[in-house]
Chain A
Amino acid sequence: MTSPAVPTVFHLRRARDLIDRHFARPLDLDTMARAAGFSRYHFARTFRAAYGETPSAYLTRRRVERAQDLLRSANLTVTEICHLVGFASLGSFSARFAELVGVPPTEYRRQQVARGGPPPIPGCFLMAWGRPRPNKPSEQPGQRSPGSAISEKRAAESDS
């Protein structure tokens, strides 16, 4: 009934799970590729084909998403959160955060406090769907990323 071998993406997912678990560590491409059991080149190429972004872009979005989670709920400074989620410098953290979320971390926290705290959505859903959308100004209509419909829905909801 079942095919003998698991699909290739099964191994890629193990590497993606590694990113989701250990995003705070300094993960390099070698470590991620090892988790999948692939060569660096093969890993980077197949990961992008399966998940629509490079492993390092996935890692960055995961870190920024985790930072958003902490900014919504934890009583920590922006600098503490920056290091907790795996960024080496406050400058690069703030820049990447602003690029993906649209506002800097401090402003994001202020907005969240103003709207009355964290949304009543299970954390597993936030982790799966809450990552900020990749910023692709060059993206053509009709070449939407797999998560774009959800991001747009979320944006529409938060506007209302």
Chain B
Amino acid sequence: MINHVSHTTVWVLDQDRAKEFYTEKLGLELRNDVVMGGEFEGAGQGFRWLTVGPTEQPGVELILADCAMGHDPETTEQVRELVAKGALGPGVLSTPDCQKAYEQLSARGVVFVQEPAQRPYGIEAVFRDDSGNVFSLTQAYHAQVAP
């Protein structure tokens, strides 16, 4: 049966800026940056497969997807609106030290909407990526136990 999550999609407004944000500001590792060229027929041609992931967790990749990927122009605009207005939250990233990560990321210009705060399951801060996606940054009290 299903044993791991390997990829998940983060819709971004600009892949160049997202690549810079996720690698240089968040410190994630670049896994793939490939443009689907002439060997691909049809709608996939020209799309850019851009993925990143945490160095310590090789099995997981965030797909930094252009809002146009797989979408007609009207849907593309709707997705861009939702991302930009801050309606989407891809998930939770974990850290061994939330306060330290908050300070380092803030110094690099990452915008936090919630400072680190104690919660029943750990210490949590909340930030946005450069497109508007919101992430929780959590230092869990019990590692591997979902909040």
Indicate if the CB atoms of A16 and B84 lie closer than 8 Å: no
B92's contact among A122, A127, A128, by CB below 8 Å, is which?
A: A122
A122's contact among B66, B112, B113, B124, by CB below 8 Å, is which?
A: B124
B60 at the interface (CB under 8 A from A): no
Contact with A along B110-125 (1 / 0, CB 8 A): 0111100101110010
B58 at the interface (CB under 8 A from A): no
A-B residue pair count with CB separations less than 8 angstroms? 76
B63 at the interface (CB under 8 A from A): no
A9: chain B residues within 8 A (beta carbon)? 81, 84-85
Interface-centre pick from A1, A3, A21, A51 (highest chain B CB count, 10 A): A1
Interface residues on B, range: 20 to 34
Indicate if the CB atoms of A123 and B89 lie closer than 8 Å: no
Knowing A122-B119, A122-B121, A123-B124, the reply to whether A1 touches B48 (Cβ < 8 A) is yes
Contact with A along B89-127 (1 / 0, CB 8 A): 100100000000000000000011110010111001010
The docked-state distance in angstroms from the alpha carbon of A124 to that of B48 is 31
A50 at the interface (CB under 8 A from B): yes
Main secondary structure of the interface of A (DSSP, over half): helix
B37 at the interface (CB under 8 A from A): no
B62 at the interface (CB under 8 A from A): no
Interface-centre pick from A2, A9, A17 (highest chain B CB count, 10 A): A2
A51: chain B residues within 8 A (beta carbon)? 85
Indicate if the CB atoms of A7 and B80 lie closer than 8 Å: yes
Indicate if the CB atoms of A6 and B89 lie closer than 8 Å: no
B147: chain A residues within 8 A (beta carbon)? 120, 122
Interface-centre pick from A13, A21, A118, A120 (highest chain B CB count, 10 A): A13
Knowing A12-B85, A123-B119, A128-B89, the reply to whether A2 touches B124 (Cβ < 8 A) is no
B128 at the interface (CB under 8 A from A): yes
The docked-state distance in angstroms from the alpha carbon of A124 to that of B134 is 9
Indicate if the CB atoms of B15 and A2 lie closer than 8 Å: yes
B89: chain A residues within 8 A (beta carbon)? 124, 128
The docked-state distance in angstroms from the alpha carbon of A130 to that of B7 is 29
Residues of A within 8 A of B (CB): 1-3, 6-7, 9-10, 12-13, 16-17, 20-21, 50-51, 117-118, 120, 122-124, 127-128
Q: What are the 3 A-B residue pairs with the smallest beta carbon separation, nearest first?
A: A10-B84, A9-B85, A124-B136
A–B complex contacts, Cβ < 8 Å, 5 sampled: A10-B13, A10-B85, A16-B86, A21-B114, A120-B147
